[in-house]
Amino acid sequence: MKDRSQAENLLETWIKNDALQYHCRMVAAAMDAYARELGKSEDEIEKWWQAGLLHDLDWEAYPDEHPNKAVDEILPEHQVDEEVIQAVKAHAPDRTNTEPTSELDRYLFACDEISGFMNAVALMRPNGFDDMKPKSVKKKLKDKQFAANVPRDDIYKGAELIETSLDDHIMFLVDIFKRM
């Protein structure tokens, strides 16, 4: 992948649902921001951004195979970097038998479900992400009826994988998402 527009085209080809596209862009923005925060090179930043943008690429067309169809076929066919493919594989350990190990894997895992959850919280609030506090997100996490399809365990596991507190993780992400 030479530039961002190529990855954007891939996203728009495979995902027509606006909410799912937005989810992918949120995770991409989170990954870009974390890569910068960690002082990665421009090359690395691109990989982290791409992993976020493309992690759910086959979800709409192949929900049962996700993410294996992307990992085995679509991403290699588009010369996506091996490290990015590995991270996409490891964001769904239950479906791929691959746990997140590299730093890129771990950050992708940590940014995925929490982004979806925080977006659900933002949609309920008059000001969206503005003035969103970790406390209100954590309160919603304990409410099992709210966004019931989001696996809470993966959110806690994600924060552990990147060795941060859930509060700090949420505050970092609020800052990114409110500028989207």
How far apart CA 37 and CA 90 sit, in angstroms, is 22
Taking the complex as a whole, the smallest distance from the CB of residue 20 to Fe ion amounts, in Å, to: 8
- Residue number with CB closer to Fe ion (105 or 112): 112
- Residue number with CB closer to Fe ion (19 or 43): 19
How far apart CA 21 and CA 115 sit, in angstroms, is 13
Contact 29, 51 (CB under 8 A): no
3-state SS, one letter per residue, for 47-91: HHHHHHHHCCCCCCCCCCCCCHHHHHHHHHHCCCCHHHHHHHHHC
How far apart CA 55 and CA 179 sit, in angstroms, is 22
Taking the complex as a whole, the smallest distance from the CB of residue 107 to Fe ion amounts, in Å, to: 13
CA geometry: angle 137, 105, 111, nearest 5 deg: 15
How far apart CA 50 and CA 45 sit, in angstroms, is 9
Taking the complex as a whole, the smallest distance from the CB of residue 97 to Fe ion amounts, in Å, to: 15
Taking the complex as a whole, the smallest distance from the CB of residue 69 to Fe ion amounts, in Å, to: 12
Taking the complex as a whole, the smallest distance from the CB of residue 77 to Fe ion amounts, in Å, to: 19
Residue found under tokens 């507190």:
165
Q: Which residues of this chain interact with Fe ion, rule CB under 5 A? A: 56, 112
- Residue number with CB closer to Fe ion (47 or 55): 55
